[in-house]
């Protein structure tokens, strides 16, 4: 009689509970407010897609053939040009660029695409976007959190996630910290992938890319930066993002993604070219967010909140020094929905994340209820 095999973990047991499902009762409470809900829980854009982007999408509507995974030459050129202009990255070619179908799918599947599995570790900040952990678990690798990555035991660490500006805290890693982290990772042959999707949304600090010449020391080896058009161009519905960095690694990922058919629609590629080539709409959107941020921060502080970090991104990281779920409940009774901090790790258990991506009218409603 053969020995019984130990039960293998199912996909359901390998993954954490989907956090947003836990918010449903509070959403119902907030929605019952006589003046309607003010949803500040998810950082989804609400402002119009820029007109020039819409026109580029329309012009590309007659696209009957399959798009390429690597993207059109125009898209690759636009990505490289943006990287040089906005990141200060030098010597980029189209082999340093790779479009992806929104940044979340990249975060979730990168460990799998890298061939990571049991015995490998994926490290990410102790307060972090939950999909970093999900990606590690999907691959069967071990998720590891850090306060300072250079204090990690490097044994087994294959992938190091940075997130600057941070979601949820809005914290920005200083250039000298990036220099130190990159040097440490290279010493231990650890791939650094820096999630920089909020890089153009600095308020009290100027975010710096891991590809900045003073950080990478003139070489992109072992470094990848992740960028998205969702926030800076209101294109969350288009699923347009891209990678810049180590050309050998991106070449390997390109081959994997070709086999998987992971391609951005041709219409979205055309729209992305238009978005990356125009800085004016980004500045206009920044002005909208800056006004909403100031109004909400003032109102939250008057209500007794303390704001921590929040020097960049689309969020205020706020606390009343109580359980995050007590705060969520308190605000839901005012018709305001926010995200509990423990969605992003146990270290957030006394904070809430407040997005300022609602319309001006809804932000004004939240301010009135708080003050």
pLDDT in tens, 298-333: 999 999 999 999 999 999 999 999 999 999 999 999
Task: Report the chain's mean pLDDT, rounded to a whole number.
Answer: 95
Q: Over the stretch 157-188, which tens digit does the pLDDT of each residue have? A: 999 999 999 999 999 999 999 999 999 999 99
Residues 297 and 163 both lie in one domain: no
Q: How confident is the model at residue 9, as a pLDDT?
A: 57
Does residue 276 contact residue 243 with C-beta atoms inside 8 Å? no
Does residue 288 contact residue 47 with C-beta atoms inside 8 Å? yes
> Domain holding 271: CATH number?
3.40.640.10
Residues 30 and 118 both lie in one domain: no
Residues 115 and 63 both lie in one domain: yes
Residues 126 and 210 both lie in one domain: yes
Q: How confident is the model at residue 2, as a pLDDT?
A: 44
Q: How confident is the model at residue 237, as a pLDDT?
A: 96
Q: How confident is the model at residue 15, as a pLDDT?
A: 72
Report the first-to-last Cα separation within the chain, whole angstroms: 73
Residues 236 and 340 both lie in one domain: no
Whether residue 256 lies inside any domain: the answer is yes
Residues 159 and 302 both lie in one domain: no
Residue after which a domain boundary falls, among 259, 276, 293: 276
Q: How confident is the model at residue 186, as a pLDDT?
A: 98
Residues 210 and 354 both lie in one domain: no
Distance CA 307, CA 355 (A): 13
pLDDT band at residue 233 using 50, 70 and 90 as cut-offs:
very high
Q: What is the tally of structural domains in the chain?
A: 2
Residues 41 and 186 both lie in one domain: no
Q: How confident is the model at residue 21, as a pLDDT?
A: 83
Whether residue 10 lies inside any domain: the answer is no
Range of the domain at 178: 51-276
Whether residue 76 lies inside any domain: the answer is yes
Does residue 127 contact residue 168 with C-beta atoms inside 8 Å? yes
Distance CA 329, CA 317 (A): 17
> Domain holding 305: CATH number?
3.90.1150.10
Residue after which a domain boundary falls, among 276, 303, 318: 276
Q: Which residues pair with 273 in a beta bridge?
A: none
Mean per-residue pLDDT, 280-299: 98
Whether residue 2 lies inside any domain: the answer is no
Distance CA 314, CA 285 (A): 11
User: Has residue 59 got a pLDDT over 90?
Assistant: yes
Q: Over the stretch 85-130, which tens digit does the pLDDT of each residue have? A: 999 999 999 999 999 999 999 999 999 999 999 999 999 999 999 9
Q: How confident is the model at residue 351, as a pLDDT?
A: 98
Buried b (16+ CB within 10 A) or exposed e, 241-250: bbbbbbbebb
Q: How confident is the model at residue 197, as a pLDDT?
A: 97
Whether residue 290 lies inside any domain: the answer is yes
Mean per-residue pLDDT, 223-240: 97
Helix 131-139 crosses helix 103-113 at what angle (to 10 degrees)?
30
Residues 229 and 289 both lie in one domain: no
Contacts of 280 (CB under 8 A, 6+ apart): none
Whether residue 192 lies inside any domain: the answer is yes
How many angstroms from the chain centroid is the CA of residue 175?
A: 19
Whether residue 111 lies inside any domain: the answer is yes
Q: Over the stretch 17-42, which tens digit does the pLDDT of each residue have? A: 777 788 999 999 999 999 999 999 99
Whether residue 8 lies inside any domain: the answer is no
User: Has residue 7 got a pLDDT over 70?
Assistant: no
Q: What percent of the chain is predicted at pLDDT more than 90?
A: 94
Does residue 218 contact residue 90 with C-beta atoms inside 8 Å? yes
Mean per-residue pLDDT, 237-254: 98
Q: How confident is the model at residue 20, as a pLDDT?
A: 77
Residues 22 and 135 both lie in one domain: no
Q: Over the stretch 342-357, which tens digit does the pLDDT of each residue have? A: 999 999 999 999 999 9
Residues 297 and 236 both lie in one domain: no
Residue after which a domain boundary falls, among 252, 276, 300: 276
Q: Over the stretch 129-161, which tens digit does the pLDDT of each residue have? A: 999 999 999 999 999 999 999 999 999 999 999
Residues 148 and 173 both lie in one domain: yes
């Amino acid at each position: 009689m053969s020995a019984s095999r130990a039960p293998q973990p199912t996909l359901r047991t390998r993954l954490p509970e989907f956090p947003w499902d836990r918010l449903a009762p509070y959403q119902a409470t907030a929605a019952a407010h006589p003046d309607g809900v003010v949803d500040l829980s998810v950082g989804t854009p609400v402002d119009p897609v820029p007109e020039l982007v819409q026109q580029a999408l329309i012009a590309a509507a007659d696209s009957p053939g399959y798009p390429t995974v690597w993207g059109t030459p125009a898209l690759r050129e636009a990505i490289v040009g943006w990287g040089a202009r906005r990141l200060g990255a030098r010597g980029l070619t189209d082999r340093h660029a790779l479009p992806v179908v929104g940044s979340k799918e990249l975060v979730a599947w990168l460990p799998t695409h890298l061939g990571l599995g049991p015995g490998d570790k994926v490290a990410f900040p102790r307060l972090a976007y939950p999909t970093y952990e999900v990606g590690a678990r999907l691959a069967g690798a071990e998720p590891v959190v850090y306060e300072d990555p250079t204090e990690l035991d490097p044994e087994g660490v294959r992938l190091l996630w940075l997130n600057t500006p941070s979601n949820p805290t809005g914290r920005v890693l200083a250039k000298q910290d990036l220099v130190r982290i990159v040097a440490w990772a290279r010493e231990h042959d650890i791939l650094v992938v820096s999630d920089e999707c909020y890089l153009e949304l600095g308020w009290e600090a100027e975010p710096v890319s891991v590809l900045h010449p003073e950080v990478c020391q003139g070489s992109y080896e072992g470094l990848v930066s992740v960028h998205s058009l969702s926030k800076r161009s209101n294109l969350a519905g288009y699923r347009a993002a891209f990678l810049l960095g180590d050309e050998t690694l991106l070449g390997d990922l390109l081959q994997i993604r070709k086999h998987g058919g992971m391609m951005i629609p041709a219409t979205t590629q055309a729209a992305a070219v238009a978005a990356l080539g125009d800085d004016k709409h980004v500045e206009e959107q920044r002005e909208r967010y800056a006004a909403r941020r100031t109004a909400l921060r003032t109102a939250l502080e008057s209500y007794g909140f303390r704001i921590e970090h929040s020097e960049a991104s689309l969020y205020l990281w706020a606390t009343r020094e109580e359980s995050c779920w007590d705060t969520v409940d308190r605000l839901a009774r005012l018709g305001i929905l926010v995200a509990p901090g423990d969605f992003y790790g146990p270290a957030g258990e006394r904070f809430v994340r407040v997005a300022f991506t609602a319309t001006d009218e809804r932000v004004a409603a939240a301010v009135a209820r708080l003050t």
